[in-house]
Structure 1
Amino acid sequence: MTIVPTGSVGRSPTPPDRGVGPLLRAWREQRRLSQMELALRADSSARHISFVETGRSRPSEDMVLRLAAHLDVPVRERNALLLAAGYAPHYPETPLDDPSMAALREGMERLIQGYEPYPALVMNATYDVMAANRGITMLLDGVPESLLLPPLNAMRLTLHPEGMAPRIRNLRAWRGHLLEQMERQVALRRSEPLRALYEEVAAYPLPPGTPDEEPGAGLGAGATAYFALPMRIEHEGRVLSFISSVSTFNTPMDVTVAELAIETFLPADPATVKYLHSLLT
């Protein structure tokens, strides 16, 4: 599947009546750091941090970036902090279909194609699917066309009661894992689009007949022992088991790149390995 850009996915612009001081204080409190702890990390003083947060002192551009780094502020929000302080954004936001992104696009496509026959996909910050390989396409068999209209969204496809959810054998556990993951990202990114997506998918009803626990999921005789929570999904009468792994780019210098993630699904048992190789090779 060719990489498809879906536009900006960031939160609403910083309100014009909020200066950089209150925004930095909000990030510090969210990270549960005292002014002294932040000052020690950023090679500053608690007094200066206090002055910045109350608006008595205007931080330099370097100080804004330094504080943002120590507060683990997402790249998009670092630009918002700079704008609130009266500086130009530091990080560009280059569309994924821009010619300058050609090497990145080609590299990601080679990566997920090279992972076949196992499933792999590329997502943005709100789980829109930018690219996917044949392993993912196989898992989407039977999903209604209405859910496959672009932009595809991984969370909707997985949790919608007419999507993949009815075929996920351990849906309650897998759904809980995904919602907890989204909760952490909402807290980290403070993204309104991401929060809206979380509220949407969290409200999806469970498919009729969803068991409280997957049959045979206990630790009784014959039960499979997994090293991480698997997604166990039915496909053409077989139950396939996958362990999910998500990768992001180190030290991104572009907002678009900072918000990309590559998710790969590693077969969790020999039967899944054998079936995928017979199906896609």
Structure 2
Amino acid sequence: MNNLTFPRINTPTTAGPQLRLLRRQAGMSQLELALIKGISQRHLSCIETGRAKPGPGTLHNLLMALEVPLEQCNSLFLASGYAPRYETTPLSSPAMEAVREAISHVLHANNPAPAIVLGSHWQVLDANASTAALFSLVGLPADAARDLNLLTTLLQPGGLGDYLINPEEIRTLAWQRATREALSNPVLASLMQTLSAPDTLAALPRELPPLVLTRIACAHGELNFMSTFTTFGMPLDITVTSMRIEHLIPADAQTWQIMTAAYERSRG
């Protein structure tokens, strides 16, 4: 366990001053924001000082331009006297059918490379067949991804982190990313309180590679993967905006060959 704390940032309770703070945090002037959203700088100034109340459409447009997380957007709507605008729809809901189909398509298209769907506190929501094949290659049950939390299994002994050739690099990068996300995610912050921070990385080499690879040892040889993420564009639901798909793209010919063979074996 660690004694990591996530300080709360004192923010104004009324909508106008909150908007002003968010605009400044985004490094945007009143004129720049007003031009982007097609309103006058004078009107935006009146909104920020509380002399004018933005309509729900104007408030939505301003928040989208500032790329404010949807959970925080709801608090701005409440502060303006409106009902929360953005819902948290269960992924299993009929309304999310198109989202589920899109996720399924992306996961399938990534084969024979592994891909996993992560929720807002790093829980694995889904994975493709190649993820199961990868688990089998390192001696784990093919269904080990079910009910798995990626952050926990990377950091705790006995998890996936033990199979990494470069565990210090991957654990440190995962911890740093999760720490940033936890500043606005109380559930993730609580989870991180139960985990131990990784040791500090050793000195950097003189020549840095283009990106850090996820390096995994298996009986067939070393596997090297590049990590990329897919997110949904223009989400208007908190569930959708919190999801991301991590793709582990083989970084060399040997890894492609091993993963392709493992994927074909998994298909019978």
Q: Flag whether TM exceeds 0.5 (same fold).
A: yes
Q: Which residue of structure 1 aligns with residue 242 of structure 2?
A: 259
User: What secondary structure is seen at the aligned counterpart in 1 of 2:257?
Assistant: helix
Worse-matched range after superposition: 34-43 or 241-250: 34-43
| Residue 179 (structure 1) aligned with residue 144 (structure 2) | no
- Residue in structure 1 matching 2:57, options 46, 56, 62: 62
| Residue 192 (structure 1) aligned with residue 186 (structure 2) | yes
The verdict on how the C-alpha distance between 1:249 and 1:178 changes in structure 2, with shifts beyond 3 A counting, is same
What TM-score results when the alignment is normalised by the length of structure 2? 0.77
Note the C-alpha offset of 1:157. Answer: 1.7
Q: Which residue of structure 1 aligns with residue 252 of structure 2?
A: 269
User: What secondary structure is seen at the aligned counterpart in 2 of 1:73?
Assistant: coil
Q: Are 2:172 and 2:198, in contact at CA under 8 Å, matched by a contact in 1? A: no
Note the C-alpha offset of 1:139. Answer: 4.3
The verdict on how the C-alpha distance between 1:127 and 1:81 changes in structure 2, with shifts beyond 3 A counting, is same
The verdict on how the C-alpha distance between 1:260 and 1:56 changes in structure 2, with shifts beyond 3 A counting, is same
Letter in 2 for 1:248: T
User: What secondary structure is seen at the aligned counterpart in 1 of 2:258?
Assistant: helix
Partners of 2:260 and 2:220 lie apart in 1 by 17
Partners of 1:275 and 1:218 lie apart in 2 by 31
Partners of 2:220 and 2:35 lie apart in 1 by 58
Q: Are 1:160 and 1:204, in contact at CA under 8 Å, matched by a contact in 2? A: no
Percentage of pairs with the same residue:
32
User: What secondary structure is seen at the aligned counterpart in 2 of 1:83?
Assistant: helix
| Residue 162 (structure 1) aligned with residue 158 (structure 2) | yes
Moved over 6 A (4+): none
Partner deviation per Cα, 1:37-83 (whole Å, 9 max, x = no partner): 43343334454444333433322212211210121112332222212
The verdict on how the C-alpha distance between 1:42 and 1:110 changes in structure 2, with shifts beyond 3 A counting, is closer
Note the C-alpha offset of 1:229. Answer: 1.8
User: What secondary structure is seen at the aligned counterpart in 2 of 1:96?
Assistant: coil
Q: Which residue of structure 2 aligns with residue 118 of structure 1?
A: 113
Partner deviation per Cα, 1:221-264 (whole Å, 9 max, x = no partner): xxxx9643210012236321000110111112322222221111
Partners of 2:26 and 2:75 lie apart in 1 by 18
**Structure 1 unpaired stretches of 5+:** 1-14, 220-224
Q: CA RMSD in A?
A: 3.3
User: What secondary structure is seen at the aligned counterpart in 1 of 2:224?
Assistant: strand
Q: Which residue of structure 2 aligns with residue 29 of structure 1?
A: 24
Q: Are 2:19 and 2:48, in contact at CA under 8 Å, matched by a contact in 1? A: yes
Partners of 2:84 and 2:201 lie apart in 1 by 50
Q: How many residues align?
A: 250
Letter in 1 for 2:34: A
What TM-score results when the alignment is normalised by the length of structure 1? 0.74
Partners of 1:171 and 1:149 lie apart in 2 by 19
The verdict on how the C-alpha distance between 1:227 and 1:252 changes in structure 2, with shifts beyond 3 A counting, is same
The verdict on how the C-alpha distance between 1:118 and 1:246 changes in structure 2, with shifts beyond 3 A counting, is same
Alignment of 1:169-248 (within 5 A): 169-186=165-182, 190-198=184-192, 200-201=194-195, 203-205=196-198, 212=202, 227-236=210-219, 238-248=221-231
**Structure 2 unpaired stretches of 5+:** 1-9
